[in-house]
């Protein structure tokens, strides 16, 4: 599990993206693309168990979930769990080599990116979907 933050002109805590991906090169490419797209913080987890620990300790604004992980074959279960762990459901994107294996009700939770995909496209679309609400904008203005 690794975490990277960007310090130049970004709010200290928003947005935080958790990437759950067991392919190390793809995880690093996603981390880099998300930071360049505007994520303030990216946490990379290679297993479902690591991601659960992160989500229990901190709030994630967005999740990028590999559907087939080394320790679990139902990465979408984490999306369902994340929806009930926090006060606000994070934005979710699914990353998979087998998009047809994702149940239809799970597809409704977020876009599905079929591997191989352009990490910059996923990152740009995800960060664009995270426009802050009124409370977040007021909170940042008062800092």
Q: 56 lies in which domain range?
A: 2-141
Compute the mean pLDDT over every residue in the chain, rounded to the nearest whole number. 83
In percent, the amount of the chain with pLDDT more than 90 equals 48
101-133 tens-digit pLDDT: 888 888 888 999 999 999 999 999 999 988 665
28-64 tens-digit pLDDT: 999 999 999 999 999 999 998 899 899 888 889 999 9
pLDDT band at 10 (very low <50, low <70, confident <90, very high): very low
CA-closest candidate to residue 30, choices 97, 98, 115: 115
Q: How many CA atoms lie within 13 A of 95 on its CB side?
A: 24
Considering its fold, how many domains does the chain have in total? 1
CATH at residue 15: 3.40.50.2300
| pLDDT value of residue 44 | 97
pTM: 0.81
| pLDDT value of residue 69 | 85
In percent, the amount of the chain with pLDDT more than 70 equals 80
Supply 117's token pair. 């995909």
Average of pLDDT values for 67-73? Answer: 81
CB of 138 closer than 8 Å to CB of 9: no
| pLDDT value of residue 18 | 96
Q: State the first-to-last Cα distance of the chain, in angstroms, to the nearest integer.
A: 30
């Amino acid at each position: 599990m690794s975490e990277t933050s960007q310090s130049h002109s970004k709010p200290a805590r928003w947005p935080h993206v958790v990437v759950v991906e067991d392919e190390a090169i793809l995880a690093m490419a996603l981390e880099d693309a998300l930071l360049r797209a505007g994520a303030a913080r990216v946490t990379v987890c290679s297993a479902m168990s690591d991601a659960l620990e992160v989500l229990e300790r901190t709030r994630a604004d967005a999740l990028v979930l590999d559907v087939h992980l080394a320790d679990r074959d139902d990465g979408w279960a984490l999306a369902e769990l994340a929806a009930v762990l926090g006060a606000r459901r994070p934005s979710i994107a699914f990353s998979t080599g087998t998009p047809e294996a994702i149940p239809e009700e799970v597809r409704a939770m977020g876009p599905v990116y079929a591997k191989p995909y352009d990490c910059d496209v996923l990152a740009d679309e995800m960060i664009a979907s995270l426009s802050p609400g009124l409370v977040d904008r007021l909170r940042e203005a008062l800092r």
